[in-house]
Amino acid sequence: MSEKSVHELIVGTITCFALDKQRQKLAFSPNDHTVHIYKLAGNKWQPDCVLTEHGQNVTGIDWAAESNRIVTCGADRNAYVWNLQEGKWKPTLVILRINRAATCVKWSPKEDKFAVGSGARLISVCYFEKDNDWWVSKHIKKPLRSTVTSIDWHPSNLLLAAGSTDFKARVFSGHIKDVDGKPPKETQWGEKPAFGACLAEFYEGRGGWVHAVSFSSGGDKLAWVSHNSSVSVVLAANKSQIFTVRGDFLPLISCIWISDNSIVCAGHDYVPLLFNVDGGGQVTFKQKLDVVKRKESETMSAMAKFRTMDKEASTGESGKGVNTTHQNAITQIAIHSGNKKSVSKFASVGIDGRFVIWDVKGLESAIAGLKIA
């Protein structure tokens, strides 16, 4: 099998995406108020339908695997839960009660609630109220000081992690009595997890918007990426020690665990990056997960490059595109096959309008014999 599968979906930016359980359907937003759903026909993705309920740009999409429901949120301060009825997707409005744009959304592991981050400096944890037949929300506010940019649920279904533009990553209790029953006395990340309690707060010391957060498969590790070109990890067993790695890579936008000791991150560098995490939580950069062909221009002498730059205002690659799979920044990565404990494939989208499926094992064997750019 090839180490990657590249699909040209649109000419333009894909801001967010989600896949159904069978990986036969793909929902994404092309940087506007719509959500496009494509279906897989053979080896090609073909348009199926367009969801148009939002009034402004869609900022987050998540597809519940078991219940087959899609949740979307947008800059219009709304969120919708979409149910497939008689072959058509029907929206249900969610009462978010926010006065700023919604920025991200994520189903809980049991799919009985979801969380929405927003520019209103709060998190709306939403659940279905059967008596009134609608989705309502409870707010987590303190100690948030700025826009919530990312959310991830703990595997227990009770806790959630959030990153924000105040440079911090936090772990909150998302326990709702009507949904989860009586709360436990303690969790991996703290005691007495009453709804909205901030169980942990992390700041890696250098400053940078937190773009993405991710719990490990067991929920005992939390990773996040920041705009200061850093990747950080903290262990539940030692919350006072934050392990951070910085490199010469550009800021990262998204991150996922692909095993108990490996994280894949991606962002403005156009390529996914692999990081290792040892048993103590120490993070190290391992390699770029993109095999690229070296161009003739890269073997040019310094004088030849200078002449090309002077003549064409370029480095010799003008009109030839970027020599990476993604031609621009990657906006999101997500698991395609497997789970956080063992991922065999992950998918990415970017500003170039491409949807790429990466075979982790295939990449490892290819990278072993080729030089990485």
**CATH number of residue 151's parent domain:** 2.130.10.10
Q: Which token pair is 139?
A: 């707010």
What is the number of other CB atoms lying within 10 angstroms of the CB of residue 52?
11
pLDDT (0 to 100) of residue 313: 52
Domain count, the chain: 1
Rounded to the nearest angstrom, the gap between the alpha carbon of residue 246 and the centroid of all alpha carbons in its chain is 20
Digit-coded pLDDT (tens) for 4-31 = 999 999 999 999 999 999 999 999 999 9
Ranges of the chain with pLDDT below 50: 1, 296, 312, 314, 316-319, 369-373
**Residue pointed to by tokens 């279906």:** 39
d(CA 86, CA 88): 6
pLDDT value, residue 160: 97
Structural tokens at position 47? 């348009």
Q: Give the span between the Cα atoms of 52 and 27, in whole angstroms.
A: 13
Q: Which of 292, 290, 294, 293 is nearest to 358 (CA)?
A: 290
For residues 90 and 364, give the distance between their C-alpha atoms in angstroms, rounded to a whole number: 42
Range of the domain at 327: 4-369
b (16+ CB within 10 A) / e for 210-235? bbbbbbbbebbbbbbbbbbbbbbbbb
Cα 101 to the center of its chain, rounded Å: 18
